Amino acid sequence: MNEQSKNYGFVYKVVQYAAWPVLLTFSISLTALGFVYDHPMIAFNLSYVILAISLLLLERAMPFEPKWQQKDGQLLADIGHTLVSKGTVQAILVFGGVIGLSEIVKPAVDTQGGFWPADWIMPLQVLLGLIIAEFGLYWAHRMAHEWKPLWPYHSIHHSVTRLWVVNTGRFHFIDSLISIVLGSGLLLIAGSPLEVIQWVSAVTAFIGILTHCNVDMKFGPLSYLFNTPELHRWHHSKDLREGDKNYCENIMIWDHVFRSYYNADYRPPSDIGIKEYMPERFREQLVLPFRWKKVQAGYNSKKL
Ligand SMILES: [Zn+2]
Ligand SMILES: [Zn+2]
């Protein structure tokens, strides 16, 4: 090994270990600055764009799975689902639901003193918010896998054959709606202030976009606490002994509690996806869950 490749090897190793914590800390810090200067939404969006661009560049420079760099013909469908699910669902909930509901719930909580520890410092309140919301997110996700009527909606997300930044938000909007209602709903019941809900949403968005990235990162003990790409790659395995695991979205607490945590020393499978039929076009995917049995039966009879 010559001097130059030795140096390259060292830098590569540093980036492998530093990328995940540095990118997450940077995004959270920039968002925190936004809260301090009263422009949290601008700061959040800016952080998210910087994070997405950094990950796209890293995916080119140091891919985890070279096979996942190949096109899968799903770019438009991925963007379509992201826009429909995140756009519509969040717009309805954030502007109509969360704010509307929090205004109804909050005065009731305030007058009774509430049980939310509003005197805690904000980072601790956000941590508490993450643990509470995670309980709702965990069960929404686990039910989507283990309760048959919900799987057709979640299958849209698992039908991807490659993991990369762009398909992070590929969720059927009903699937997203259930997660958001359960996650944010628990926070509202707990009397959480809007700022905590905003923080939990921001952290979920940052950790979420990191989980799908096809970057050759290393995590060490971080994967025990947080939902890292390493853990989420198992979650996309076709082998359900690996796939029906790691349901948490941010911190792995409930996977440890309910014994669905999974991480192993061998390499996760590069051949990912679902066993059922998934149409290629976005609009067909959007209506698929509503006519799931018929479509799958038709597909199975053609296969025979
Ligand atoms: Zn899943
Ligand atoms: Zn995923």
What's the confidence (pLDDT) of residue 133? Answer: 96
Six-digit token string for 222 = 């971080």
The model's confidence at residue 1, banded by pLDDT at 50, 70 and 90, is very low
Ligand nearest to the backbone CA of 145 = 1
Q: What is the pLDDT of residues 173-204, one digit of tens each?
A: 999 999 988 998 899 889 998 889 889 999 99
Question: What percent of the chain stands above pLDDT 90?
Answer: 78
C-alpha to C-alpha distances, 176 to 153, 172, 272, nearest whole angstrom? 9, 7, 21
Nearest to 214 by CA among 86, 57, 15: 57
159 C-alpha to center of ligand 2: Å? 10
Cα–Cα distance for residue pair 154/147, rounded to 1 Å: 11
What's the confidence (pLDDT) of residue 302? Answer: 78
Ligand nearest to the backbone CA of 160 = 2
Query: Across 86-90, 100-104, 151-155, which has the greatest mean pLDDT?
Result: 151-155
Six-digit token string for 48 = 């998210």
Mean pLDDT along residues 195-219 = 94
Is the confidence at residue 100, as pLDDT, over 60? no
For the ranges 35-39, 85-89, 252-256, 296-300, which has the lowest average pLDDT? Answer: 85-89
125 C-alpha to center of ligand 2: Å? 27
264 C-alpha to center of ligand 2: Å? 18
Give the gyration radius of the chain's Cα atoms. 20
What's the confidence (pLDDT) of residue 123? Answer: 95
Mean pLDDT along residues 254-276 = 96
Is the confidence at residue 113, as pLDDT, over 50? no
Domain boundaries defined on the chain: 3-303
C-alpha to C-alpha distances, 10 to 14, 62, 80, 100, nearest whole angstrom? 6, 14, 40, 52
Q: What is the mean pLDDT of the chain?
A: 90
User: Which backbone phi and psi does 169 adopt, to 5 degrees?
Assistant: -95, 15
1 C-alpha to center of ligand 2: Å? 38
Is the confidence at residue 104, as pLDDT, over 80? no
26 C-alpha to center of ligand 2: Å? 23
Is the confidence at residue 101, as pLDDT, over 70? no
Is the confidence at residue 270, as pLDDT, over 80? yes
What's the confidence (pLDDT) of residue 250? Answer: 97
Mean pLDDT along residues 156-178 = 95
Neighbours of 294 (CB within 10 A): 9
247 C-alpha to center of ligand 1: Å? 7
Is the confidence at residue 8, as pLDDT, over 80? no
What is the SS3 assignment for the chain? CCHHHHHHHHHHHHHHHHHHHHHHHHHHHHHHHHHHCCCHHHHHHHHHHHHHHHHHHHHHHCECCHHHHCCCCCHHHHHHHHHHHHHHHHHHHHHHHHHHHHHHHHHHHHHCCCCCCCCCCHHHHHHHHHHHHHHHHHHHHHHHHHCHHHHHHHHHHHCCCCCCHHHCCCCCHHHHHHHHHHHHHHHHHCCCCHHHHHHHHHHHHHHHHHHCCCECCCCCCHHHHECCHHHHHHHCECCHHHHCCCCCCCECHHHHHCCCCCCCCCCCCCCECCCCCCCCCHHHHHHHHHHHHHHHHHHHHHHC
Mean pLDDT along residues 65-89 = 91
What's the confidence (pLDDT) of residue 97? Answer: 52
Question: What percent of the chain stands above pLDDT 70?
Answer: 88
Ligand nearest to the backbone CA of 78 = 2
- For residues 174 and 131, the answer to whether their CB atoms sit within 8 Å is no
What's the confidence (pLDDT) of residue 211? Answer: 97
151 C-alpha to center of ligand 1: Å? 9
94 C-alpha to center of ligand 1: Å? 24
- For residues 191 and 114, the answer to whether their CB atoms sit within 8 Å is yes
What's the confidence (pLDDT) of residue 112? Answer: 45
Q: What is the pLDDT of residues 34-70, one digit of tens each?
A: 999 999 889 999 999 999 999 999 999 999 999 999 9
What's the confidence (pLDDT) of residue 301? Answer: 85
What's the confidence (pLDDT) of residue 114? Answer: 59
Mean pLDDT along residues 150-159 = 98
